[in-house]
Amino acid sequence: MTIGVFKETIGNKVGLVPVVVKKLIALGYDVLVEHKAGRNSFIANADFEEAGARISTRSDLFEKANILISYKALSDDEIKLLRSGQIYISNFKPFIYTDITDKLKMQNIWAFSLDMIPRSSIAQSMDVLSSMSSIAGYKAVLRAADLLPRYLQMMITSAGSIKPAKVFVIGAGVAGLQAIATAKRLGAIVEAVDTRLETEDEVKSLGGKFLKVEGAKQATDQGYGSEQSQDYIDKQRQMMFDAISNSDIVICTATVRGNKAPVIITKKMVDNMRRGSVIIDLAADAGGNCEYSQNNKTIITPNYVQIVGDSNLSDAAAVDASTLFANNVFNFLKYITSSDLELRTDLEEDEIFKSSCITRQIKN
């Protein structure tokens, strides 16, 4: 059984790292890695070869690999090169890119979308969203701190005292909690909000203040935020108007599985913020939590608020992000394959298998 690892055409990550390649080879796999696939993650071809992989061309991966791995999905043209029966593992985000499933299905392959793995205790080691969200929350605060024309911490000098910056975090999931922890370590005053009231203790344990509106629909069985009523959203906006107006940095992390991200920050709220304030919207690829947000773009409003729409901030820590992703892939492969490295189709009713498998091979 041969695994092929693509060089990403967008972003800095790589699907496998040498230490994981060694573990896969020990299980009996052959591993092909595209030439310079690890370059943006500071991994040389020689590092992969030392681990036992063979360096290959991109076309060879399509022709020789049984299992293909990429962090982001291939282009439409390259999807057409996939062979019937191949297994392709990536982050397809089928709730956002709604036509991707049909395109993959036409190739008669097994396609597994790691971002669809449910958040359960047994799936923790394969949970790509949590792995990447933790990095994104950390980097979001550092990015905002770099853009903010102020200190984050209190400074007392002979020339006078500087008050600490105020950071407001929307969503207290993995990314939000990491953002809260990072902002507190940098000396900021931190407030947070989440529809899941059970996150209040977690926010407080990290030193943040939890703001809440009563009447929220609670989390789904898999731990994701639920879609809220318009009445709740209106009350939440009113409560947050003052919080946002008084904040120097706002970190947006709120998403709803299978739906467009809720617009929580209106243009009116942004227009009321202080000049030089910064918003980092990690939900931008799902529409964004801020009305101004555009994915992969930085918007500067008339009152000089910078709004960064970036749902791939984990790319800013490509070395660690690649390692975590590779570990997720390794654990997932071990779960869905048998000891003889064949796909375990007996798992088709398993929660992890059926949630992540977005297309199945149909044998004639």
Contact between 90 and 10 under an 8 Å Cβ cutoff? The reply is: no
> Distances from the Cα of 239 to the Cαs of 61, 245, 263, 267, in angstroms?
53, 11, 15, 16
Give residue 116's pLDDT.
93
> Distances from the Cα of 15 to the Cαs of 33, 71, 126, in angstroms?
9, 6, 13
Strand duo 87-91 + 54-56: pairing:
unpaired
Other C-beta atoms lying within 10 Å of the C-beta of residue 242: 12
Q: Predicted confidence band at 301 (pLDDT cuts at 50, 70, 90)?
A: very high
Catalytic residue selected from 138, 224, 292, 335: 224
How far is CA 148 from its chain centroid?
24
Going from N- to C-terminal start, the domains of the chain cover: 2-116+317-359, 134-311
> Which residues in 260-288 are b (16+ Cβ under 10 Å) and which e?
ebbbbbbeebbeebeeebbbbbbbbbbbb
**Does the active-site annotation cover 127?**
yes
Q: Average per-residue pLDDT in the chain?
A: 93
Catalytic residue selected from 59, 75, 84, 124: 124
Catalytic residue selected from 71, 88, 127, 178: 127
Q: Has residue 224 got a pLDDT over 60?
A: no
Q: What is the pLDDT of residues 50-92, one digit of tens each?
A: 999 999 999 999 999 999 999 999 999 999 999 999 999 999 9
Task: Locate 293 and state its tokens.
Answer: 């947000």
Give residue 58's pLDDT.
98
Kindly state the average pLDDT of the residues 316-320. Answer: 97
Report DSSP state, residue 285.
Answer: G
**Does the active-site annotation cover 124?**
yes
| Four-way CATH pick for 134-311: 3.30.70.920, 3.40.50.720, 3.40.50.300, 3.30.1240.10 | 3.40.50.720
Kindly state the average pLDDT of the residues 8-31. Answer: 97
Task: Locate 80 and state its tokens.
Answer: 């057409």
Whole-number Å distance between alpha carbons of 166 and 248: 5
Catalytic residue selected from 119, 143, 196, 257: 119
Q: What is the pLDDT of residues 153-193, one digit of tens each?
A: 999 999 999 999 999 999 999 999 999 999 999 999 999 99
Residue the block writes with tokens 């809220």 = 228
Give residue 119's pLDDT.
84
Q: Predicted confidence band at 222 (pLDDT cuts at 50, 70, 90)?
A: low
How far is CA 77 from its chain centroid?
25
> Which residues in 202-228 are b (16+ Cβ under 10 Å) and which e?
bbeebebebbbbeebeebbeeebbebb
| Four-way CATH pick for 2-116+317-359: 3.30.360.10, 3.40.50.720, 3.30.930.10, 3.40.50.12780 | 3.40.50.720
Catalytic residue selected from 56, 130, 131, 356: 130
**Does the active-site annotation cover 274?**
no
Alpha helices in the chain (DSSP H): 18-27, 45-51, 58-64, 76-79, 100-105, 128-147, 174-185, 200-205, 230-245, 267-271, 318-336, 351-356
> Do the first three CATH levels of 2-116+317-359 and 134-311 match, i.e. the same topology?
yes
